Amino acid sequence: MHHGNHFYGHAHVLAGYCGLDPSAPPRIDGYLQHGWNVVDGLGSGTPYAPGSAVFVWSERTRRRAWSMGRPLATVIGAPFLYLLRSTPDDTAADVREGTIWYPFHGWEGQQVSGDHHRLIDEIIATETGPITFCLYWNEYEDPRIRALYERVGRVVCHGYRGYMRERTHARFLHGQLAELRRHRRVASNRLSTAIFYGAAAGCRPAVYGDPMYLDGEDTPTAERIRREWPELHGADPDPATAREIVLAELGDGWLASPAELRAILGWAA
């Protein structure tokens, strides 16, 4: 199993959905897409063994994968959708309040640069109601950055995604779903996986503010995202249009039954 299949507890979520032990997911026969992706479903720089299956979230991603020499790409939908569909929402609609805001973040291999002070000022001027700032572990563990957000709102972290199967927070998505269901809006300064999850979970999405910069990032790809999905950018995108786009990108309509998914992932034995 490629270690990225464990990121965010994805393999664990799918194992639980399939009726298997979520604490010890079996080996997946291929590569599982671990985040919203505008190329072939694999993370940038992911070593690929020719002839291996790639399990992607959407039909659009499958078509891109095929065009990039990944003929064994199969659409299964995002693991988050499986969790969303199988986890009852016991949060009353009138209990949702405020915004959960996801600042663009770095990771082990790349750090993000930008003016957090300016971003926070714009957020405060835009949002109404309480604000929860969800920092990725990379920024959460930096006391200087965390302190900036703690001065103006509640600060949380969904946990560590894992690396080489170490320190994986297997219930990362469970905690994220619970937080999203507490809020009326989900927002970020970059269109990212969290925005898609939030909109799927019933939040009104928004993407605005200083987009910041990632060390060595592919600038044309970042610009393409802003150009290709204008309907999801701005302080108050149309929620109906946004939701339609979000569900298509996450693969709604492609979810497999437990028996089908076991067979697809090589867990049928």
pLDDT at 222: 81
**What Rg value do the Cα atoms of the chain yield, rounded?**
18
Whether the model pTM is above 0.85: yes
What long-range pairs does 220-229 form, CB within 8 A, spacing at least 24?
221/38, 221/39, 222/190, 224/38, 225/38, 225/190, 225/191, 226/191, 228/38, 229/191
pLDDT at 138: 84
Residue-wise pLDDT tens digits, 49-78: 888 899 999 999 999 999 988 889 999 999
pLDDT at 237: 97
For 115: left if phi > 0, alpha if psi spans -120 to 50, otherwise beta; the answer is beta
SS (H, E, C) 199-230: HHCCCEEEECCCCCEECCCCHHHHHHHHHHCH
pLDDT band per the 50, 70, 90 thresholds, residue 140: very high
Q: Which of 163-177, 185-199, 229-243 has the lowest mean pLDDT?
A: 163-177
Q: In the chain, pLDDT over 90 holds for what percent of residues?
A: 71
pLDDT band per the 50, 70, 90 thresholds, residue 137: confident
Give the separation between CA 182 and CA 166, rounded to whole angstroms.
30
Q: Write out the H or E segment, with its range, that includes residue 101.
A: strand 99-102
Phi, psi of 185 (to 5 degrees): -125, 155
Domains detected in the chain: 3-78+251-265 (no CATH), 93-249 (3.40.50)
Mean pLDDT of 242-262: 97
Residue-wise pLDDT tens digits, 86-131: 998 877 667 899 999 999 876 665 677 788 999 999 999 999 999 9
pLDDT at 93: 63
pLDDT at 223: 86
Q: In the chain, pLDDT over 70 holds for what percent of residues?
A: 94
Give the separation between CA 200 and CA 189, rounded to whole angstroms.
18
Phi, psi of 216 (to 5 degrees): 70, 20
DSSP reduced 3-state for 155: strand
245: buried, middle or exposed (CB in 10 Å: 19+, 13-18, 0-12)?
Answer: middle
Residue-wise pLDDT tens digits, 195-234: 999 999 999 999 999 988 877 677 788 888 999 999 999 9
Q: Which of 10-14, 40-44, 185-189 has the lowest mean pLDDT?
A: 40-44
Give the separation between CA 198 and CA 243, rounded to whole angstroms.
10
Q: Cα dist. 54→6, 62, 65, 75, 185 in Å?
A: 14, 9, 9, 9, 32
Q: Write out the H or E segment, with its range, that includes residue 185.
A: strand 185-188
Q: Is the predicted pLDDT of residue 164 greater than 60, yes or no?
A: no
Give the separation between CA 250 and CA 18, rounded to whole angstroms.
19
Q: Cα dist. 206→84, 162, 229 in Å?
A: 21, 28, 12
